[in-house]
């Protein structure tokens, strides 16, 4: 799963985290959000479906996600597919008996959340695990596929070391998912991931990267480390960079190093399309090792964003056209 992080405390929306890119400040503030979550009461039995606004997003979604996974349902009154999907999600949330929480967000009443999440259509579903946004799906999927997604979220939460369960959760089994709330609650944390996060909280990106690389050397398909590593590598590069990267790159289009640095800056600040198109344009102008470096960085960005990010599909096609 992705790095277990959170947004800075306060009422404002964490735009970089919600953009689905990389939230550098979020990782540094993880311990604060986790502490808030530990102090906050868990949802009461029957309170597993909550209406969320821009003002309550921090507490009800980000902070809550350090206790249990939170699924975000973006909907609107005029959306007919939403009227098909939302009742299914609400029923499954109650059936889950506290293994996860459903956060319903009316996009008409909360347009900033829709904009920050770069949502193009509704219904759209995301998951949040320990403060980290996880791409979900768009459209009213059949119930069996919705259950499969929930099952995957619960397993990912367990792998990420999320061991809490909402108050009142019991042994009721999640139908067709094969997972019980108590199973998730008893999943042990991974000390290797805990060590990596400790390094991140200390600002030691080199040590965190080495830790994730060691995990991947032992388990090449480890779902958390495989996504955490490129994010932390980006964090290290951006942290070490100085100001003015975008301006320097705009002034020197042929400077590949400048383009890479500017794209890192744009991606870290949520300007996903700008970062991808900058590197694709540089690929068209380059050759040899420089082109290979640009391609490698784009593939890294695709891994960071995830296959369900709306910018990834078009960017992959543009990259293929630029290369061939």
CA-CA distance, 170 to 159, in Å (whole number)? 20
Assess whether 37 carries a catalytic annotation: no
List phi, psi (to 5°) of 17: -65, -45
Residue with tokens 């293994």: 99
Decide: residue 129, CB within 10 A, 0-12 exposed, 13-18 middle, 19+ buried.
buried
Assess whether 82 carries a catalytic annotation: yes
Instruction: Say which residues have a Cβ less than 8 Å from residue 113's Cβ, sequence separation at least 6.
Output: 13, 18, 54, 57, 74, 105, 107
Q: Is 20 left (phi over 0), alpha (psi -120 to 50) or beta?
A: left
Strand order in the sheet with 49-51: 49-51, 101-106, 70-75, 124-129, 132-138
Is residue 271 classed as helix, strand or coil in its secondary structure? coil
CA-CA distance, 158 to 135, in Å (whole number)? 17
Catalytic residue among 79, 157, 177, 312: 79
CA-CA distance, 37 to 304, in Å (whole number)? 26
H/E stretch holding 193? helix 191-201
Catalytic residue among 82, 116, 196, 246: 82
Residues paired with 103 in a beta bridge: 50, 72
CA-CA distance, 140 to 137, in Å (whole number)? 9
Active site residues: 79, 82
């Amino acid at each position: 799963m992705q790095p277990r992080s959170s947004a800075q405390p306060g009422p404002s929306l964490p735009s970089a985290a919600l953009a689905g890119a990389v939230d550098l400040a979020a990782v540094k503030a993880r311990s604060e959000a986790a502490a808030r979550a530990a102090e906050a009461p868990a949802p009461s039995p029957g309170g597993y479906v909550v209406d969320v606004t821009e003002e309550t997003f921090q507490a009800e979604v980000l902070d809550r996600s350090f206790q249990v996974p939170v699924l975000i349902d973006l909907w609107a009154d005029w959306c007919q597919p939403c009227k098909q999907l939302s009742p299914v999600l609400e029923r499954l949330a109650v059936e889950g008996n506290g293994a996860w929480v459903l956060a319903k967000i009316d996009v008409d009443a909360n347009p900033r959340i829709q904009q920050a999440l770069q949502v193009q259509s509704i219904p759209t579903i995301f998951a949040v695990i320990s403060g980290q946004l996880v791409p979900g799906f768009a459209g009213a999927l059949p119930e069996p596929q919705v259950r499969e997604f929930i099952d995957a979220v619960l397993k990912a939460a367990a792998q990420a070391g999320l061991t809490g369960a909402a108050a009142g959760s019991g042994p009721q089994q999640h139908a067709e998912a094969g997972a019980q709330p108590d199973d998730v609650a008893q999943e042990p944390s991974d000390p290797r991931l805990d060590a990596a996060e400790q390094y991140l909280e200390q600002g030691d990106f080199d040590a965190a990267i080495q830790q994730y690389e060691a995990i991947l050397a032992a388990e090449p398909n480890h779902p958390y480390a495989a996504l955490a590593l490129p994010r932390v590598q980006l964090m290290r590069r951006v942290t070490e960079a100085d100001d003015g990267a975008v301006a320097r790159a705009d002034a020197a289009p042929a400077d590949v190093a400048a383009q890479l640095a500017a794209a890192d800056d744009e991606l870290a600040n949520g300007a996903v399309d700008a970062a991808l198109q900058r590197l694709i344009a540089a690929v068209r102008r380059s050759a040899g090792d420089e082109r290979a470096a640009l391609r490698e960085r784009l593939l890294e960005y695709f891994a960071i964003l995830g296959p369900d990010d709306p910018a990834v599909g078009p960017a992959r096609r543009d990259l293929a056209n630029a290369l061939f």
